[in-house]
Amino acid sequence: MPPYCTVQSSWVAQESIDIAGNPERLWDILCDVPNWPVWDDGLEGAALDDPARGAVTGATGFLQMKERGEFNFVLADLAKNEYFAYDVNLSGALSHWFWDFGRPAADGKGFVLTMGVVVSGFLAPLYKWWIEKECREAFQRAVAALKKLVEDNKPSIRAMLRVKAPAGDPPIGAAKPKPTVGMIRPITIAPPMSQIKR
């Protein structure tokens, strides 16, 4: 095997922001996987394979990106109210996407959120060239959206979704029937804003 195939390399892209709020609120938002598109504008949809199990270390799911297709993930290294992460196997590399929020803000009025990705493996340099800038820009938008959600201190997304669906519609969050033809996986996405109580 050529030596370059055994060389491991890695890189990190991350963005941080101070949030004047409660880390428990952020934890609740991150555990609400089907509503990740509310704060991540690059996502079309997200779901856990077993929603009844919930967001726990080892739980699996999938992401439907707006521009880059579908990816399977495994939740990893979760620490309640401090750290949330998932791993995605890429061709020739492993990506570890994380939200680290266990450190208090310097002014003592909240906490610091750091959102990022660590990509490691022999093709990591190629992914750095391909997606690092895009990741940093996406993280800037996502941490700002998460800051707003936490600091607005409105009811959690989960609570906002406890609304009655119009007659004839399945309840929000109900399992969608799997398609009988084709290879497309069903995706759970956030309900229309008109169905969310304010």
Q: What is the pLDDT of residues 99-109, one digit of tens each?
A: 999 999 999 89
The answer on pLDDT for 125 being more than 60 is yes
If you average pLDDT over every residue of the chain, what do you get? 81
pLDDT at 44: 94
pLDDT, average across residues 86-109: 95
Strands of 60-65's sheet, edge to edge? 9-19, 111-121, 93-104, 83-90, 69-75, 60-65, 43-48
pLDDT at 5: 39
* Minimum mean pLDDT range among 31-45, 64-78, 163-177: 163-177
Topology of the domain covering 8-163+186-195: Alpha-D-Glucose-1,6-Bisphosphate; Chain A, domain 4 (3.30.530)
pLDDT, average across residues 180-191: 38
* Minimum mean pLDDT range among 85-89, 90-94, 140-144, 162-166: 162-166
Q: What is the DSSP string of the chain?
A: --GGGT--EEEEEEEEEEE-S-HHHHHHHHH-GGGGGGT-TTEEEEEES-TTT-S-TT-EEEEEETTTEEEEEEE-S-BTTTEEEEEEEETTEEEEEEEEEEEE-TTSSSEEEEEEEEEEETTHHHHHHHHHHHHHHHHHHHHHHHHHHHHHTPSPHHHHT--PPPTTSPPTTPPPPPPSSSSPPP---PPPGGGS--
- Could you tell me which residues come within 8 angstroms of residue 134 by beta carbon, excluding any fewer than 6 positions away? none
pLDDT at 68: 76
pTM of the model: 0.74
Q: How confident is the model at residue 158 (pLDDT cuts 50, 70, 90)?
A: low
Higher pLDDT: 1 or 115? It is 115
The answer on pLDDT for 6 being more than 50 is no
pLDDT, average across residues 140-168: 71
